[in-house]
Amino acid sequence: MALLRRPILMLARSGRVKEMVTTMPVSAGIVRRYVAGERTADAVRATRELVDAGLTTSIDYLGEDTTDEKRAEATVGAYLELLQALHDAGLATSAEVSVKLSAIGQYLPGGDRVALENARRICRAAGNVGTTVTLDMEDHTTTDATLHTLRELRQDFPGTGAVLQAYLRRTEADCRRLATEGSRVRLCKGAYDEPEDVAFTDRVDVDRSYVRCLKALLAGDGYPMIATHDPRMIAIAQHLVDESGRERGSYEFQMLYGTRPEEQRRLAGLGERMRVYVPYGEEWYGYLMRRLAERPQNLSFFLRSLLSQK
């Protein structure tokens, strides 16, 4: 299955495949599994269902690599609308939002400044309704710029969360730097197709890096957000949490919408804080392909759906 990861990620960049998938209704089943829907109301509905089950959420309005100013502005507007809708539904304190800087202007002229100002607008709106923002991490070429923007945002919005990807060779050092008081850090394995000189490519090496990074976060004074679906990694994380003397409430687990929902509820039932990453919006194609790359066994279902329409 690991051999399928790179071809699947290549499909994510294929305009022809994207056109086929996004115009064929057969993809709807698997999309509904991983994406809450296309509208703000869909994200609010999914959040309500998860909160009623004892979970919390981090909501992502899908889209990235934006090179159009109007599109970036529309994305900011979507987040502002979402935050107000969550507040109106009484859900804001149970839901934060996750934001990709490339979706709000990072690739526009003067992109770092534009993305920072747009992120400030979203952070301000989030603070006004009693919640927070986490900056999603993208491919390795944006890591330094994203961490710089994080530092700027935290001057006014100290609760802004970071995301670090364990498959990058630099991440253990980044974890140590960010494991400071009040620092919220989501640790995930990573889902982009990265070169070997900057990233571990063997699964065992990625897992070992994840454990080292988690140890660094748990040893610090921050708030680790343990993002993994791997049963073995969850067990290791629980052991490391106990070993570190951490109290419940000083960390949380995170999983993706539609992935191992029974395990999400099991952890919540044990008293763990469990947050679900909920994506929504029309730009679901690239997100879906990265999910398939993470779990290539899902590809068989997807291909069967396509072939059944021929």
The β-bridge relationship of strands 274-280 and 133-135 is unpaired
Cα–Cα dist 67/203, whole Å? 33
By CB atoms closer than 10 A (0-12, 13-18, 19+), residue 109 is exposed
Distance from C-alpha of 28 to C-alpha of 21, rounded to nearest angstrom: 9
pLDDT value of position 18: 56
Whole-number Cα distances in Å, 268 to 55, 59, 105, 274, 306: 7, 19, 36, 6, 36
pLDDT at 158: 97
**Residue 193, pLDDT score:** 79
pLDDT of residue 19: 57
What is residue 310's predicted lDDT score, i.e. its pLDDT?
38
- Specify the 3-state DSSP secondary structure of 87: helix
User: Digits of tens for pLDDT over the chain (310 positions)?
Assistant: 444 455 555 555 555 655 555 555 545 666 778 899 889 999 999 999 999 999 999 999 998 889 999 999 999 999 999 999 999 999 999 999 999 999 999 999 999 999 999 999 999 999 999 999 999 999 999 999 999 999 999 999 999 999 999 999 999 999 999 999 999 999 999 978 789 999 999 999 999 999 999 999 999 999 999 999 999 999 999 999 999 999 999 999 999 998 899 999 999 999 999 999 999 998 877 777 766 666 555 555 455 544 444 3
Has 266 been annotated as catalytic? Answer: no
Which listed residue (60, 136, 139, 207) is catalytic? 136
Residue (of 87, 76, 162) closest to 127 by Cα position: 87
Q: What is the pTM of this model?
A: 0.87
Of residues 5, 186, 273, 275, which has the active-site annotation? Answer: 186
Q: What CA–CA distance (Å, rounded) separates 41 from 63?
A: 18
Asked if 184 is an active-site residue, the reply is: no
| Cα separation, 154 vs 222, whole angstroms | 14
